[in-house]
Chains A and B, each alone.
Chain A
């Protein structure tokens, strides 16, 4: 078991964690960035109670040890009291009252923390050994190891595990919930401060438990609503990466309802026959019958045609779909290129 002791030096925790937690004024908890003020209030209340009792106990002991130290072997105790009923009632009843206050306060706080508000936005956090995947409302794009939330909006999460137990823990938000395979757990909070925060896995889950980390960006409403949203990262490093980005972020959100990728016809033409794959593997534009200003034409599909059909759908209408309207989409060239790459992946082999 000690085989790796020297040969396999441990790697860093995470390449790029969130900035260090800023402690609150009392220096104990991270500065609260959600609305769960009961946690902090109750924490400091119990701390004060604890310090009071600790000082009481330590003080009494310190005094009596100094004052009543045995100096000769036959020294008798200064008191032989074995009972004091009023005192015993006090030290039973007073702590009982105090802990009942703590109990009620804690229970009230936990009810708030486990009751998801009706207006919450629902996200999904999927935990597996050893990373986090997040999905967003009204977006097909997932993000990995990093999460974006809008400030002052209630965020609720469905928590799913695909393997073992994990726990969703954000110290700055004061939330923790176990993620249990085979169950849907939920957790919610309302981030109140823009910033970047830690999300830890708090339930031991195997080798890289300590590296199961996500960075949570709480951003302003404008940043959150920007197009594309901040969690969307367009990858056009290779044609196939661009095709994958376009499929996930454009096709599945915008095009899927009218255009199939398997030849079936919906209200718009399927995308299967836009390009053809030739015997030597190259993909070229297919021939297509269209209506331009009332005239039939045959054109060769290329990037300019695709761009025009997306930005100005009425310019060239495909035969058979002349009377079906399509909304215009103002996609930039990068997105168009990605879509073209995606369409090329659908090309059938030339006959």
Chain B
């Protein structure tokens, strides 16, 4: 993408050591009170990474406990708390906010050629709300924990003697954090695009964040209301969900999934956006079927509101509801398939650089094809009646949540790391870690597909000996996966201290963020950019910027 700014901000560089957003000010307060989207994004990055590591630790405990049929570590009650903590931390504190909050926050204004998001104070507020939500979730553990599963199904969540109201409050607050981020991004995309940046010149990551934001703003209030109703029901016994008071527990399932199915796309659409960027840059080719991918993000956002009933095929809903929900579920598979095919076609016959972001991207493409295709298996009604609530479902959504979304997050992190920090991590270790994570992940979840097909129900603290071998294989896989992630954390953190310089445009990207200085100054661009060419036009790439180290 050409602009009227020189690709490299030579003028600023000549004026002496440049002040970028990282070193422009120091001290705790300069971060705690910052309105800079990049700093807020970095604080999100630290927060969601810690939540991910906590959630991952809980996952390892779950897997270690399931080494033997009778369980090795915990009482059944403690196991139930730990798998609930794993789910709640991963979903509410990591997967939902991770990509929009960190990479989205940092990159959206840069990609649009803007100085910041439209509402910087709201942006900081949404981070603090995330922090309050995380604190409440931690407090809920101190108050006795919660053992409801992350789904809080009634009436169990109404009767259990645990800190359900506290974690409900945490989810409520986190919901507002999510809504504010979404609102902010929508306004930013509408109002702060650089001159010449038409809708169809926006990078696909921006399209994905825009579709995500629509979902966040429209769906999250339903979750907020639902957890409030659960809290009211527990505190004042109003009789909405409790069958003993004339309430309907299935109504809760409808409310919950009315949010939580779109939430799956709140989680996955930003990952799709990252992958769309990365396949293009590392193949040095325009994204294949750009408009179709952009439209399919919006199509997925719309249809995802109408498929929530596929989480409830065994709940005894009417035949008509089963018909509609199954039909629409298959229908939403089509825009998703179009994206996958388009990414493969983008890589096809490109100039393919096998660096670590691309390896993570290829891992995503392989894992997501399995995650998506197994979703099709689960959409088939008769088959769903057998597989629902088994490890097959567990494996399917981990292929999407962990194998796709988290791996796409890693890919994006590796891709934009040199841009954000101006330093490069150890590429060799990065490639090794990517391989370990890929192998460990598949070793963890392929056995879960098989034992799920054979009938192993989920959320079991103990199990019949039929499934022992699969559980052992899965546990070994989880340990390998954990090692891979530990290695990744090590070399990423170490890179900040080793300070090996990155190149100005490390991977040869042509979207606007690569035209800003590296790392970007507080105002992002020294001169406001003007867009004159189409997006992903690699004829405009200046190869010198790939060879010139950061000052």
Q: Is the CB of A10 within 8 A of B461?
A: yes
For B373, the closest partner residue in chain A by CB is A50
For window 108-166 of A, CB contacts with B under 8 Å fall at 108-114, 163-165
What chain B residues lie within 8 Å of A36 (beta carbons)?
382
Choose the segment among B141-149, B269-277, B428-436 that binds chain A (4+ C-beta atoms closer than 8 Å).
B141-149
Q: Tell me the chain A residues, 7-59 only, with Cβ under 8 Å from chain B.
A: 8, 10-14, 17-18, 20-21, 23, 27-30, 36, 38-39, 42-43, 46-47, 49-50, 53-54, 57-58
Q: Is the CB of B350 within 8 A of A77?
A: yes
A295 contacts B by Cβ under 8 Å = no
Checking B148, B341, B388, B464 against A176 with a beta-carbon cut-off of 8 angstroms, the contacting residue is B388
B551 at the interface (CB under 8 A from A): no
Query: In the complex the two chains form, is B314's CB within 8 Å of A177's CB?
Result: yes
Q: Once the chains are docked, how many angstroms separate the CA of A236 from the CA of B159? A: 39
> In angstroms, how far is the closest chain B Cβ from the Cβ of A72?
9
Our count of residue pairs bridging A and B at CB distance below 8 angstroms stands at: 318
Q: Are B314 and A167 in contact (CB-based, < 8 A)? A: yes
Q: Does B2 contact A (CB under 8 A)?
A: no
Residue A324 lies at the interface, judged by CB distance under 8 Å to chain B: no
Asked if B454 contacts A61 (CB within 8 A), the reply is no
C-alpha spacing A200/B386, complex, angstroms: 12
Q: A21 and B466 in contact (CB under 8 A), knowing A80-B285, A110-B385, A171-B386?
A: yes
A180 at the interface (CB under 8 A from B): yes
Given the complex, which residues of B lie within 8 Å of A178, measured CB to CB?
Answer: 314-316
Chain A residue at minimum C-beta to C-beta distance from B243? A182
Closest to B547 in A: A73
A248 / chain B contacts, CB cutoff of 8 Å: none
Bound Cα distance from A210 to B290, whole angstroms:
48
B319 close to A114 (CB less than 8 A): yes
Bound complex: CA A99 to CA B249 (Å)? 32
Q: Do A47 and B377 touch across chains, with their CB atoms under 8 A apart? A: yes
Contact A171 B380 (CB under 8 A): no
CB contacts (< 8 Å) of B347 on chain A: these are: 61, 64-65
Residues in B whose Cβ lies below 8 Å from that of A193: none
Q: Bound complex: CA of A304 vs CA of B370, how far in Å?
A: 74
Contact B74 A105 (CB under 8 A): no
With A10-B70, A80-B286, A110-B385 known to touch, is A171 a contact of B454 (CB < 8 Å)? yes
Residues in A lying within 8 Å of B, measured CB to CB: 1-2, 4-5, 8, 10-14, 17-18, 20-21, 23, 27-30, 36, 38-39, 42-43, 46-47, 49-50, 53-54, 57-58, 60-61, 64-65, 68-70, 73-84, 87-88, 91-92, 95-96, 99-100, 102-103, 105-114, 163-165, 167, 169, 171-172, 174-178, 180-183, 185, 198, 200-211, 213
Taking Cβ atoms with an 8 Å cutoff, the residues of B that contact A are 69-81, 141, 144-145, 147-149, 153-156, 159-160, 243-244, 248-250, 283-290, 292, 313-316, 319, 322-323, 326-327, 330-331, 333-334, 337-338, 340-341, 344-345, 347-354, 362, 365-366, 369-370, 373-374, 376-377, 379-386, 388-390, 450, 453-455, 457-466, 508, 538, 543, 546-547
17 A-B pairs, CB-CB below 8 angstroms?
A1-B145, A4-B77, A42-B383, A43-B453, A75-B351, A76-B351, A81-B349, A88-B289, A99-B330, A113-B382, A165-B156, A176-B314, A176-B389, A180-B316, A181-B155, A183-B316, A206-B147
